[in-house]
Each structure stands twice: as C-alpha cells, then as structure tokens.
Amino acid sequence: MNLPRERWVAFAGVGVLSLIAAAGFAVAIWAAWLFHDMPDASDLADYHPPTATRAYAWDGTLIGEFSRERRIFVPYDNIPPQLAQAFLAAEDRNFFKHAGLDYTGIIRASAKDIINLAQGRRLESGSTITQQVAKNILLTNDATIGRKLKEAMIAQQLEGAISKERILELYLNEIWLGYRSYGVGAAAYNYFGKSITDLDLAECAYLASLPKGPDNYHPIRHKKQAMERRNWVIEQMVEAGWATRAQADAAKREDLVVQPEPSRAKYRDADYFVEEVRRRGLATLGPRLTEGGYYMRTTLDPRLQTAAKASLMKGLETYDRRHGWRGAWGHVTTLTNWEEAAKKAAKPAERPDWVAAVVTDVAGGVHVRTLDGHTGALVADDVAWARRGRGIGSGDLVFVAPSDKGGYLLKQIPAVNGGLVAMDPSSGRVLAMVGGYSFSLSSFNRATQALRQPGSAFKPIVYATALENGYTPASIVVDGPISLPGGNGKMWTPENYEHEYLGPLPLRKGLELSLNTMTVRLAQGVGMPKISASAIRLGVVTKMENVLAMALGAGETTVFRLTGAYSAFVNGGRKVEPHLIELVQDREGKTIFRADGRDCDRCTAGFNGDESPRIPPAGAQVWDPITAYQITSMLQGVVQRGTGAAASVLGRPTGGKTGTTSEFRSAWFVGFTPHIVVGTYIGFDDNRSLGEGEQGARAALPIFIDFMQQTNKYFPADDFRRPAGARYAQVNGITEAFKPGTEPKMVEDNPVGPQPYDQVFQNGVTGAASAAAAVKPGAPAPVPAKPAAKKDETNGLYD
C-alpha cells in the first residue's frame, strides 16, 4: 500500500514518541527499583562505627582488644590537622568547598571509565570523601552505575544533614587502611606503634596513601611503591599549602619503618587471661563486646602475671628435662636447603631466644648451625643429656638457645602441660592466670577448661565439713587399713601413699601427712552427702556422687574452681566469686557491668565529717569463721611439717595442700598466704601418667614456690587473722582453735606457748593407747596400726 509521505512521517513520529515514552517508563521503573530502599543519610547523625573493646589490667596496662573490625574511634577534635590534611590532599582537596560532589573530578573519572568499560576494568572512583562515607557506611562496594548514582544522591543528602567535620570524622574512623586496621587510630598503632598525635609528616602521608589500595602499598612487601605513593602525597600537601618545601624534603628522606606485624597490646604475657576475658565478655555482653567500643578494666596484675607465666614454663621444662630427651623434631639427609624444613617448625613464641638449628657434626662434640646463620657447639651437659635419651646425630633439626657461658643450650618443647591461677581471697579477683606452656602452640586453657581429679588437694573440704559437724582439732581418727564394699561386688581398699599406717591420730595429722585411710574413715563418719554438698556450695563441682572415693579427690574439677574454694579458708569462710572482669563502661562513660555488686548508699555522697561508709564483706558465709581458721592452721602445718614442707623456704606464714591422683596422672598444689591464693596443676592433655613418683610435692609445688619467691615482695608478711570468739588450747604441742564449748579442759584465750599434750586432751585421755575414747561418737572403731616408719616427718612424705 502506498501512503503519502506525510502519513509516513506521522507514523514515524508516533513511533519515536512511543519509544521515548517506553524508554522513559522503563527508566522510571528502574529508578523506582534502584532508589526504593536507599538509606536515609540523616541516620549518620548518631552513627557510631563498630569499635574495639579495649581491656586493661588493674594498673592501666593495655592487655587486649576485642573487635570485629580493629578500630579505635577518634573524635574530630582529637585528630591532628596534619593528618587530616594529608588525607584531604590525597583524596579530596576541595572537600570543604564542594557540596558533596566534585564535578571536575567526576568528568575526569568519567572519561577514564569509558575506556575502562571497553576493556572490562573496574570503574574509576572520582569520589569525594562524602561519597566514600556514603559508600563505606550505607552502601556496598559494587562497581556499578546504579551504586554510583545512589552514592551521589546520598552524598548530597549527607552534606545537608550533618556537618563537614562530622563527615570527615566518620571517614577517618571508618576507612580500611590494611594491616588489620580500620580508621586512622588503629592504623597509627598497628603500623607505627604510636598514637595519632605522635605521627610525623611522613607517617601521616603514608597512612593517607593507603585508601587507594593498602595491599598495593604494603610497607614490607611493596616498600618501593609505598614510599613513592607516600612522597606523592607529601607533594600534594605542598601544592595545597599544608607543608613547606623544607618539611616535605625532610619527610621524603625519611625511611618507611613499621612494626613487623600489627600488635593489639605491647604487654604479651597474658594471652590465656585475655582469651578467657574474651569468652566471659561474650557470655556477659554478647556481640556488643566486639563492636561497642567499651572500656573494660580487668583484675590482672601484670607483675604477678609475668611471674606466673615464667614459673609455670620453668616448672614444665624442669619436669620435661627430668624425663629425658625425646629426640629431634625433624631430620634432613643433606644440609642443602635444610633451612626450608627448619622454617616449618612450630616454635613457642614465648621463647624468643630459641632458634631452629641443624646438627652439622657430632665428632668431638655436637656442632650446630642456626637458622640465623650462626654456628657453635652444644654445651657438654646437654650433649650428655641427649645421649642418655634418644640420642642426637648429624642432620637432626633441633631448637637451641645461646648459653651465657658460650655455645648453645639444647631445647625441647615440653609434652606435659599445666595451669596456674593466682587469686585475691578477699574479693575473688583473679590476679594472674596461665593456661599452658605456650598459647601460640595451644590456646586450650588448662586453668579453666581442663577437668581433672584433684586428688588429696580436695581433702581440706572433707576436714572442714567434719569440723562443721561436731569434730574438733582434738578429735582422734584412726589411720589404718580399711576395706569397704566397692563397685561390681568388689572390695575397695584405699591405701596411704607409702603403704604405712600411723594408728589413732588427732585430726590435724591426717591433713598434714595426707593420710588416705584416715580421711576415708573421717568421711565415713561425717557422711558423703554433707561433703558433696560442701563441694557443690563452694563451686568445686556442680554435682558429686556420694561415694567415699570422692573424699580422696576422685571428682573432676579445674584449678580455677579449686583455687576459688580455698579462698574461703583464708578470708574467714566466705565464698567469693572468682572473676576476671572488674568493670565495663560504654563510650559515654556509663557503667554497664560491675563485678562487685555490693551496695553502698553513702559512697557517692560528699564527706561531711560523719563516720565513713561501711561496706559488708564480699561473698556469702559458707564456713564458720572458726572452721575456716582451723583448716588454715592445719594447712599451715602441711607446709611446716607435712607434704608441702618444701614451701617453708618462703619464710612467712604460708599454707597449702598437695594433690596427686591415681597412677600419677595429675599433680597439684594449692597454697596461700593471707593475701593471695595460688593453684597449680601439671598433667598431660591425654591424662596419661606423669611417671612413678611424680606427685604434687615434686611436680607442682616447685612452681608455687618459684612464683611466691618472685611475688611475695608485693605483699606484707602478715600472719593469718584469728577469728573472734575462738578458744585456744595446746594439742600435741600445737596451738589449736576451738569453737566455744568444744575446747579441751586446759584453754588459752591468748596462747603464748606450748603445753604438754596430756594436760589439754579432752576427757583426760593421753597418747594413742587410749585413742578410741576420743573418737567422735559414731565414727569407726580404731584398727590396729602398722608401726610407723622411723623417719623425719618433714621429708619424704607424699600423698
């Protein structure tokens, strides 16, 4: 059909209009879809970026940070002008002049984007700092035209909603700068180990060079490119008038020196403690811990923590050396490229002086070459030690450390492990905690997570329960062979460690000498339900079977729990809650958690001359104060005359109790002075035997002694406080405390010296021959005893 030209033009016009309308409709739909969920820029007025919670020791030492993103928020007023100017020079020199968009920059970036699109590359940024804030906080990183349009619109909204200073503050605290750093505050610490106020021009310029790609300008892997970019930023600052030529030239001559790796805290002796704080913080605060920017004050005493770590590591190494050289951890058949194999070794970070080495020659001694290129010979004693063990030969890969007398010491990572907890008995504050030999090799915390039988270290709870239920320090219990019905129809026959039995004895002797059969008889007389209830009330266990084996420490607990239980003996019978976190405050300074829940109505009022506020002691009363003192006194006897006699070297009032489990699987010592309670434990993670004779007095007690020798100087040498109302009498030449009405006939309110045993013993009974008369009614009758071995009571007695 032939239509006039005018009709064709009309049809074409209608078609074009239809296409335009359709295109407009499509654009409208696309725009509606694109912007329907666009964030509201005004939300940033009260926005706080996720910020690290920082944990501090009691003396203000930073010990750790907990964060989803490593960030230290710095308010705008605290940001040095030179640092802000460096970022403005690198990223957006016209920031304080534009209204969110820099059209010159957009045109320049758009021209480049045409080429980038054709070549399939990412689009150029061309973004102002305001646009970057919009992208980083409110949008995604997708390099699409849609996201760029959103970014531009939100940037303009931002400029009308919040101030320029607030926008720059958000940018400098939000930006990813590599090296595990979000924001300039964290970057200054991680790269340079400094606060932002201590950065010089060159360091400011380097941080400002990073937003374009931290990995491209890594200070170690790409140092040349990093310095070139840094110097470019310095020149931009000169052009903007923010640095003089002389300042710039001096800064460009400066080397780029950073920390080898980012570090959260300079103090590095508390890894196990900090990790336990993190776990407990998450349980208390939830996800807020890693993003709330909290101030957290912990109970840690860095002086004690450093000593605890050193003492435990030394004790584990001592045990390990006693059990011989286990052989090299690796071997090479040729010295060519031996370094590659050596670099794969897992060395404990806690021993920075150790270095991997290869044995090069064993003729006329053992000669080694270290990974850092030095050569030398092993000291003679270590060569002999190795040859008594698995031997040592050429090509063996080992760890060595320089000797003060020349040559090298042969080193071995202990296979055994352990834990140590030090606690303030009056408050439950955990002053130090070490959960193993090396956190870098194993983060499993043996102080809080390793459930083990405490052996005889549990016995003080048995004796305290007896004293709460009618027994006194003058009560007599028989130490002699005993057999009782056990499981599967078999008889259970507990024995003393040295298979010797001392006959009828006062209560104290059973604890001092850790006599198993005497303790079983005592538990039988008291009743296991009462003993189990005591253990549960003290938090040693959450449940316990009412079987007599539990009286000898067959129930599993942790050194953390048992140390907390011992606190009640020292503090007058109160159960304090062991804790690591003292106080948590938010970024506004508001307290959101406080471990000490005691009330003090007048503590915040100004002093007006009235009597000062009196705060009640922490913790519920779980023992009679006299009972607590009686056990404390008996545990002093353990150190003076019993299984813990080695600790008498400390030369001040000290108590404690050893513990060893069957087959020598675990070794314990929990000891104390009036100001600190310390629990130590040694054992293998697979709970195998430590070896014959490795009891608490040999394996664990030396760790306690070493720790106390380092830390006693921080505490006064006080004696244990005597409880009000107690009566005192001499029993076997030892001053004993009694509850009023339970004391023997001869009583001292203020004892000054020993009295003969037969003058004070209850009912006039003297000596062991008539001991049956002094046994608590209902307790098992005396059993003929095997004659005691003739030896010094202070030596050779173990549990």
Place of tokens 């019978």: 573
Amino acid at 747: V
Which 3 state secondary structure label does DSSP give 38? coil
Say if strands 503-506 and 330-331 run parallel, antiparallel, or are unpaired: unpaired
Beta bridge partner(s), residue 491: 485
Q: Tell me which DSSP letter residue 266 carries.
A: S
CB atoms within 10 A of CB 512: 26
- The candidate with the shortest Cα–Cα distance to 462, out of 506, 410, 524, 401, is 524
Phi/psi at 683 (5° precision): 180, 165
- CA of 138: how far to CAs of 40, 174, 232, 611, in Å? 9, 12, 30, 57
Catalytic residues: 91, 456
The rounded distance, in Å, linking the Cα atoms of 795 and 77 is 68
Tally of CA atoms within 13 A in the half-sphere of 241 that contains its CB: 1
The rounded distance, in Å, linking the Cα atoms of 338 and 345 is 12
- The candidate with the shortest Cα–Cα distance to 516, out of 570, 462, 479, is 479
- The candidate with the shortest Cα–Cα distance to 666, out of 450, 421, 452, 460, is 452
Beta bridge partner(s), residue 260: none
The rounded distance, in Å, linking the Cα atoms of 487 and 491 is 8
Torsional class of 110: left (φ above 0), alpha (ψ -120 to 50), beta (otherwise) = alpha
Computed on alpha carbons and rounded to an integer, the radius of gyration of the chain in Å comes to: 36
Q: Which residues contact 364 (CB under 8 A, 6 or more apart)?
A: none
In the numeric block, which tokens belong to residue 135? 């992208």
The rounded distance, in Å, linking the Cα atoms of 673 and 636 is 9
| Length of the chain (residues) | 799
Q: How far is CA 33 from the centre of its chain?
A: 50
Are 643 and 798 in contact, with CB atoms under 8 Å apart?
yes
Are 775 and 478 in contact, with CB atoms under 8 Å apart?
yes
- The strand ranges marked E within 543-594 are 574-575, 581-585, 591-594
- The candidate with the shortest Cα–Cα distance to 87, out of 43, 34, 119, 128, is 128
